[in-house]
A = this chain, B = another copy of it.
Amino acid sequence: MADKQKMVDAITSMDEDFAKWYTDIVKKAELIDYTSVKGCMVIRPYGYAIWENMQKILDGMFKATGHENVCMPMFIPESLLNKEKDHVEGFAPEVAWVTHGGNEKLEERLCVRPTSETLFCEHYANIVQSYRDLPKLYNQWVSVVRWEKTTRPFLRSREFLWQEGHTIHATAQEAIEETERMLNVYATFCERDLAMPVVKGRKTDSDKFAGAEATYAIEALMHDGKALQAGTSHYFGDGFAKAFGIQYLDKENKLVHPHQTSWGVTTRLIGAVIMTHGDDNGLVLPPAVAPVQVAIIPIAQHKEGVLDAARAVRDRLAEKFRVKLDDSDNSPGWKFSEYEMRGVPVRLELGPRDIEAGNCVLVTRHNREKTVVALDNLEEAIAQKLQEVRDGLYAAALENREKRTYDCKTIDEINAKLAENGDGFVRALWCGDEACEDKVKELTGVGSRCIPFDGQGQEGTCVCCGKPANTLVYWGKAY
């Protein structure tokens, strides 16, 4: 059959060209297809299944913390977008405008939502009258549009899928707690399920969400040493409530403004997973979100009993895991490469000799380690291997991040570390002056990513101006 077999497509090496390696993977692992709609993509079944797995886990975590799903319109009238000054300034330059319905020009143009604070505020104003109506803990799974100039699949596209949580609370304290709670939900999800270590922190004022009092973020370090913002959580205070006239009668019968939050993660997380765990053989997927957790490859499948045994194993495993049996006429070697390229965490090989011995071979994707296990306890062995993959991926990502995190005291030191060890996180004190923040970026190329939660109250001097500084900042080149 060798002549009929197509080769598994080669992927550019990461070290040679990381950007090309990335686009090779998203195309060859069939995660996306390009379209004639500039900056927008097709998310193909294998890519969408990763997103569905992410959604399922996150949606469960949101519901467990008391949130309910809703659905707002995709359009925002211009006058509604304009109600909160900072918000409109931040978003208006990058929205898509609908000006015609059928053949008629609209009286007022509508933007396609870039985010939905304004719509939620309009709704809150309708439904919140008394302290008894609070809190409202809402979320929606939708797509949003931002008219980006340069785009890359999953990382930055004109349309992307996301969830946006929006909550409204009686007190500032409750809202601040919510903002932190949801950042922690994101961090737990990234570390536990995506095997991706993150730094939790607050954005500097120059990097806040348009209209927020404070923006919190989780920042991850990609394999190439660039930083990626993996999720954000915003505290709005009562700014939106004031702009939109949202008030409620409190327990003392006084009319007061409530406090709000919003928080979101996007399909960008798929890009983060690719760039955190992938290697020169292709994707490496964390088991929690892998569309296929176990690929079963029969060996010498033409021999009597092999395919029957493989199917029996598949049926058994399908009750607990996401399993695929490949009984196509491609060679085992081709299949090995194919499922490696697709990042399937565990490969199960089953041939006549294995069957006779009551065994099979398990190979873990991230380290290619082979283990012979008894078919008897297969479920247990696979659960253990999947945990090993998750733990191995997390350890490797953490090691990469630690190796690439540089504590620096001066601009020169930053430049020296980056030149010597390549891109990474720079940890350096900052005086709080925006001019210094800009200057660090100008002189070194790394911008402020976040102030980690334990980053206040330090003692030392600003990495830029040398004046006293008590704020630790993570700096990095960002995706």
Contact = CB atoms under 8 A, between A and B. Distances in A.
Most chain B beta carbons < 10 A, residue from A70, A110, A122: A70
A5 interface: no
Contacts of A60: none
A97 B123 CA distance: 26
B95 A102 contact: yes
Contacts of A161: 71
Contacts of A76: 37
Contacts of A42: 70-73, 119, 123
B73 A45 contact: no
Contact of A101 (B70, B142, B147): B147
A392 to B, nearest CB: 29
7 contacts: A36-B80, A37-B119, A40-B74, A49-B68, A94-B101, A96-B101, A99-B100
B97 A159 contact: no
Given A43-B71, A71-B48, A159-B75, A100 B93 contact: no
Contacts of A150: none
Interface residues of A, number: 54
B33 A126 contact: yes
Contact of A75 (B37, B75, B92, B119): B37
Nearest to A140: B48
Given A75-B40, A110-B37, A159-B74, A69 B96 contact: no
A468 interface: no
A127 B27 CA distance: 11
Q: Copy number in this complex? A: 2
A348 B115 CA distance: 41
A27 to B, nearest CB: 11
Contact of A69 (B45, B93, B95, B101): B45
A296 to B, nearest CB: 19
A138 interface: yes
A318 to B, nearest CB: 13
A206 interface: no
